[in-house]
Chains A and B, each alone.
Chain A
Amino acid sequence: DTEVTQTPKHLVMGMTNKKSLKCEQHMGHRAMYWYKQKAKKPPELMFVYSYEKLSINESVPSRFSPECPNSSLLNLHLHALQPEDSALYLCASSQGLAIHNEQFFGPGTRLTVL
């Protein structure tokens, strides 16, 4: 299995809703990432988990809350989002500590906040 899966593919939510995005990989990768991508812009790093521990938080607002229940799963809990948070949310994973390790991306969840 050489892919990263994400659910749901699309999500529409109101500003008072609570929802979660899920990401899964079965490649034995030790690092997992959340990125946010607005239309016609590059991905922006949000969070990095390394060995199931949060290693990077790029000053993301607390209405986004990441969780890594185990080495294969990564969640992003959403609460009280704003319309400007509408974007494609990409999950990625990479194998190890070597600098040449590329990141494998999932297909993304397209989020719309009304």
Chain B
Amino acid sequence: QKEVEQNSGPLSVPEGAIASLNCTYSDRGSQSFFWYRQYSGKSPELIMFIYSNGDKEDGRFTAQLNKASQYVSLLIRDSQPSDSATYLCAVLNMDTGRRALTFGSGTRLQVQP
């Protein structure tokens, strides 16, 4: 079982719709959760992070965390063609001493104009 799992996609949504990206993780001790966006041929850039169960909103982006279900998601409202990219989920367990992000393989999002 992969430590962080994401559906590779592509997830295709029309412009203006809500895109929902999902991620599950296997380490119950994970404490911090991150969403990175990576455009083709570019480096990852941080969109959001979340530590507590529930929702966290930042502009058009909402991160949702459910630690009991070991599930984290990213919602993108009013999706734009410029949101088309690969979205990487990453988790962190500081207690292991490893202190490194574990990434999923990403979900490719396509927003159709």
Q: Decide whether A and B are members of one complex.
A: no
Q: Which residues of A contact B (CB under 8 A)?
A: none
Give residues in B with beta carbon < 8 Å to A.
none
